[in-house]
Amino acid sequence: MSTGGDPLEGVNAETVHALLTAVQRFEDAEERRGESLNGRASGVSGLVALIISVSAALAHLQTDSVHDRARTAALVLFFGAALAFLSAMWMAIFKVLRPKPAFVVHEEEVLKYPNYEWIRKRPAEVHGYLIKASASLLKTERDKNNGKATWLNRAYAALLVGVLCLAGDGLILFHTNGRPERNTPRPTARAGAASSRITIRQPGAGSSRARARPLEHRAQA
């Protein structure tokens, strides 16, 4: 077997260039996918923050008229919703939006491109090298985006659980607070109210002591 032959013998330069173009397109598509996932995660974080601020008003509802079981269920649902919302926000921020290590071509390698070692290479050889680098970058980005998509789906699920818990909490509180109060008879005064006797003194003629005369004062029924 001859070792001094051309390593690119039989290689079609146009095919190599087409493969490089395809890999670069896949890489661009994967980059756009990552940006889309980041945008959705930002939307989840903003939505969770809005829901938490709105649901805070639910905690201030009067629960004096709510019986013990309903109050316990409402509290469990409220804290369950808060936990689900915080979990969704944590997953969106720390698992999707937080920057992660990526595959990059080292600067020292890039600085070699203007050298004679590279400019003397044939296009098919350079394209082959770039295909390898782009394929490695594509694999890294795809793995990273697949992880983002998994955590984003979990954040959506946690968000849905929180919304359902919050809706159940609101239904319990509004239903119990909206019940009509029982008609309890108010105490009324008896017919023919008891009279209170008040004694006043009137001066008697030619007497230093006043005579007492009873005066009846009847209370209103």
**pLDDT tens by residue, 136-179:** 889 999 999 999 999 999 999 999 999 898 888 878 877 776 55
Distance CA 152, CA 199 (A): 87
DSSP state of 203: P
pLDDT the model gives residue 114? 81
Measured in degrees and rounded to the nearest 5, phi and psi for residue 208 equal -80, -20
pLDDT, tens digit, for every residue of 68-95? 777 788 888 888 888 999 999 999 999 9
pLDDT surpassing 50 at residue 46:
yes
pLDDT the model gives residue 7? 72
Distance CA 160, CA 48 (A): 11
The number of CA neighbours under 13 Å toward the Cβ of 58 is: 23
pLDDT surpassing 80 at residue 212:
no
- Quote the tokens at residue 219: 């209370």
- Quote the tokens at residue 38: 């980041």
- Quote the tokens at residue 106: 């080292």
pLDDT the model gives residue 94? 92
